[in-house]
Structure 1
Amino acid sequence: MGNQLTEMLKGTLEGIVLAILARRSAYGYEITAWLRDRGFSDIAEGTIYALLVRVEQRGFVDVEKVPSEKGPPRKVYSLNAKGRDQLAEFWRTWSVLTDRIEQLRHNGNQHEKGA
């Protein structure tokens, strides 16, 4: 299941990160730690940082450099209006997809029982 879960996450990770940022501003390591604490242990920090660069380039987040006690300033990401619109679209798409998958699963079970 691990490989299949990883592949499925690739398509949804942007929406997941936007949902995290809808709750509060965060920097890359905080997002990675939050995900790991909730069972997404296979997600590499580099994956999150690459995704954050993409959502910044696409204009979904605002970025503020905040001084760090150790090392260079941290980039703190905040969801902006364009990002909230993208997140709303993600949730609409997610609802359609999950409804269709559930229908397929239940219809598939009925078909198997009738066969």
Structure 2
Amino acid sequence: MGKQMTELLKGTLEGIVLAILSVRPAYGYEITARLREEGFADLAEGTVYALLVRIEQRGLVDVEKVPSEKGPPRKVYTLNAQGRDDLTEFWRTWSFLAERLERLRHDAGHPQEEGT
């Protein structure tokens, strides 16, 4: 993963994880697996777990410990109302930035990337 991608991901990973949790509750490994399915193969598992601690501390998710067949109970994260509000704001900000970046790219004479 290049430096620019790493920096952009730092600023957006919370919103991405909240979006994953908006579909259904999940535990840390499921979230990491989903991110990898979406192409974030180089993402360290520890990064996701640290982020989950932060969003739990900020009150964006509800956490339930669920028994596991393999070891200690799993913490299952569920997006709550505050988390949904945060996700709505994330998408609003994302749309604002994406529109302006696309306009700048167009004005600079750079065609849209293939497949986008």
TM-score above 0.5: yes
Aligned amino acid, residue 82 of structure 1: Q
Report the CA distance between 1:26 and its aligned residue.
0.2
Q: Distance in 1 between matches of 2:2 and 2:42?
A: 8
Tell me the alpha carbon deviations over residues 3-48 of structure 1, each in whole angstroms, 9 at most, x when there is no partner: 2212111100000000000000000000000111111101111000
The alignment-based identity, stated in percent, is 75
Structure 1 residue runs of 4 or more that deviate by more than 4 Å after TM superposition: none
Counterpart for residue 6 of structure 2: 6
Counterpart for residue 77 of structure 1: 77
Counterpart for residue 23 of structure 1: 23
| Ranges in structure 1 where 5+ consecutive residues have no aligned partner | 111-115
Counterpart for residue 95 of structure 2: 95
Aligned length: 110
| Ranges in structure 2 where 5+ consecutive residues have no aligned partner | 111-116
Aligned amino acid, residue 17 of structure 1: V
Q: Distance in 1 between matches of 2:96 and 2:42?
A: 27
Aligned amino acid, residue 72 of structure 1: P
Counterpart for residue 55 of structure 2: 55
1:64–1:75 CA contact under 8 A, matched in 2:
yes
Q: Distance in 1 between matches of 2:6 and 2:85?
A: 26
TM-score (norm 2): 0.91
> What is the alpha-carbon root mean square deviation over aligned residues?
1.1
Counterpart for residue 113 of structure 1: none
Tell me the alpha carbon deviations over residues 37-76 of structure 1, each in whole angstroms, 9 at most, x when there is no partner: 1111011110000000000000000000000111110000
**SS of match in other structure, 1:109:** coil
Aligned amino acid, residue 4 of structure 1: Q
Q: Distance in 2 between matches of 1:18 and 1:62?
A: 12
Report the CA distance between 1:106 and its aligned residue.
0.7
